[in-house]
Structure 1
């Protein structure tokens, strides 16, 4: 396993705590934990995304979605099967899981649905009005005004 020393970054930066935490967590990721359950991340438009996760065997009440700050946590814990069930082969994994996604600033969860064993989590970027580009009027000493327009991002 490789080991990276990120301490030189910490000594020369201020205010990048979140970035350094992301780097550290990416370097410590366990490959076995990353493979279950499988998922896709789609970009639907400039401001809309979807996470689709294969959760076969899980009912809606077995799944939990929570957001805190810029982290989306999807966890699942299936209920115990009937003890009388006798399997010759069991290939559908029903083990508990917890998957964390780091969300960019202003990304919000707009909804979730479970269809045909696939959990769809809809995400949308909502930029506050204060952060959107705005038009600023430039006044000159001659009493005339010029207006500079900017396209919305």
Structure 2
């Protein structure tokens, strides 16, 4: 399969993916990143015949199984060995945690951004594993936390 992107789309998409590779956090830092993802989705909608087949969900599950790293699965025993505890929260509480990291300003200390990113990632993973849809909230203007320098 071949996908055609403009140079601007490729550059913005590369930056988004590079941040994700470094942080394991998929977050939109600029509206242009949202636009490039929408454009990419539109391109894929034009070329993926599977989208319109009755067994789409099964084909998607099979494709995920083929692409998934075995080590990427959450294993309760492995988590316990790492010293992690189970935390039972309601889905709306988990959504709250997943959204809070977006309010951290860019000038916040890296340790703060990294810790919130880890909490957000685990929150989103918990929702995904439970089969619960998650729509990220975009902070309103002035809603970001203030960081004293």
Q: TM (normalized to structure 2)?
A: 0.23
Question: Which structure: greater helix fraction?
Answer: 2
Question: Which structure: greater strand fraction?
Answer: 1
The answer to which structure, 1 or 2, has the higher relative contact order (CA under 8 A, 6+ apart) is: 2
Q: TM (normalized to structure 1)?
A: 0.23
